[in-house]
Structure 1
C-alpha cells in the first residue's frame, strides 16, 4: 500500500475550509473515495461539498 497526501477544501458552517490529510491506500482512486467517505461520516457532508484539489503519492 502507498501513502497519499490529499489537499482540498470543504464547505463548513463558517464558509470554505481547507484540509490536508495523509492516508494509506492501494491507489489514488481508493484514497479519494476513502477521504470522501470519511468527511461524510465525520462531518455529515455530501460528496459535492468536498473538493479535492491535489492527490500526491509519497
Structure 2
C-alpha cells in the first residue's frame, strides 16, 4: 500500500473549510473514496458537499 495526501475543502456551517488527510491506499481512486467516506461519516456530509482538490502520492 502507498501513502497518499488528499487535500480539498468541504461545506461547513461557516462556509468552506479546507482539509488535508494522509491515507494508506492501493491507488489514488481508493484514497479519494476513503476520504469521501470518512468525511461523510464524521461530518454528516453528502459527497457533493466535499471537493477533493489534490491527491499526491508520498
What is the RMSD of the two structures over their aligned residues, measured on CA atoms? Answer: 0.3
2:7 aligns with: 7
Which blocks of at least 5 consecutive residues in structure 2 are unaligned?
none
Which blocks of at least 5 consecutive residues in structure 1 are unaligned?
none
Instruction: Give the superposition deviation at 1:40.
Output: 0.5
Instruction: Give the superposition deviation at 1:29.
Output: 0.3
SS at match of 1:21: strand
Instruction: Give the superposition deviation at 1:19.
Output: 0.3
User: In 2, distance between residues paired with 1:23 and 1:7?
Assistant: 11
Aligned residues: 58
Alignment of 1:13-24 (within 5 A): 13-24=13-24
Instruction: Give the superposition deviation at 1:3.
Output: 0.2
TM-score, structure 1 length as denominator? 0.98
Runs of 4+ in 1 over 4 A off after TM superposition: none
TM-score, structure 2 length as denominator? 0.98
User: In 2, distance between residues paired with 1:17 and 1:36?
Assistant: 15
